[in-house]
Chain A
């Protein structure tokens, strides 16, 4: 995969600010990707999300499905040997996109048409809308 590098990466600053995490604390051991329940469905591994941010290729992360497939289950955060909370970083990227585009990622008509528990509906709307 070819990615454009942007060394004045404002995205990285934003993600660090919103998540309160230090992106450079990660030393790429891969435990987050090994334990991620959604990894089989992702187009960019969780550890690659951090790597892209580290090298200034954050713009490429914004296009990927991965950040929207993260279900904030905190498995990565619980297992990280460096105490990095990747679930927070994923949220940082999601929130950045939502705030910049000011557009919802999912609209109610795109949601499943069946009776869902409220917590499923409200959670999804909280994560996918501005």
Chain B
């Protein structure tokens, strides 16, 4: 069964390595994933205003397009895209008036009816099963201590969650399947500051500092994430952290697919970038 893949903007720029590694993994595991043609922005953050239908057009347009092309499942890599699409789907589910209005806006698309299922790439991997992933391992990651950072948008709100929203296990199980050792990491579901990074970088740096130090205190040598914005805040804001906390030492942050493709023998060892 072919699955539509919605990249979203950042996967084509700052998170290029995320896309490249994920698509290579999909290919090696036999997942039939095809990029959605002519996709548009998902809307980035889900609008929480009940009366603002205009902000739902982005995600619904994407879902309408996937549906119009006959796909039953749409997958995303970016946590933000995932969350926005899922919440938009829920926004119109069971509200025919809203749905009708939104469909009326999009004359050139086929009408969205709500059938497409949105699954994060992690969910697809879990459906393949951990045994299948274990078999695919070429280079065991034994001894690698990894802190699995989920952030917000894979888990909250609960209606959009891919796992338990307080104590998720998916990334830990994935890392264990690859032979790595996930560390105890209480800050795994703490928000990194999200889009405030564009206006209040110091606040984000203070947030990121606590998250990174918590990972380090628990023995992690690297952190994994599935969100390009979390990645930016945890990785690129480390220079801001040093300005506030001069004793801070760098800690590498990877996308989970980068670590995974290394284990599956698809790429060379991930360098500390």
Contact = CB atoms under 8 A, between A and B. Distances in A.
Interface in B176-208: 189-191, 193-201, 203, 206-207
Contacts, number: 129
Contacts of B191: 37-38, 71, 73, 75
Q: How large is the interface on A (under 10, 10 to 19, 20 to 34, 35 or more residues)?
A: 35 or more
Main secondary structure of the interface of A (DSSP, over half): helix
B194 A18 contact: no
Given A71-B194, A119-B9, A119-B10, A112 B49 contact: no
Contacts of A117: 10, 13-15, 228-229, 232
A91 B193 contact: no
A127 B45 contact: yes
Q: Which size class do B's interface residues fall under?
A: 35 or more
B241 interface: no
Contacts of A95: 49, 52
Contact of B203 (A38, A92, A118): A38
Given A72-B194, A116-B197, A78 B13 contact: no
Given A38-B191, A74-B156, A119-B44, 16 more contacts: A37-B191, A37-B193, A38-B196, A78-B166, A85-B48, A116-B197, A117-B10, A117-B229, A118-B10, A118-B44, A119-B10, A120-B198, A122-B9, A123-B45, A123-B80, A127-B195
B176 to A, nearest CB: 25
Interface of A: 17-20, 37-38, 40-41, 69, 71-75, 77-78, 85, 87-88, 91-92, 95, 106, 110-112, 115-124, 126-128
B129 interface: no
Contacts of A20: 50
4 closest cross-chain pairs (CB), A and B: A123-B195, A73-B191, A74-B156, A91-B48
Contacts of B52: 95
B102 interface: no
B134 interface: no
A120 B155 CA distance: 19
B65 to A, nearest CB: 19
B152 A73 contact: yes
A92 to B, nearest CB: 7
B49 A106 contact: no
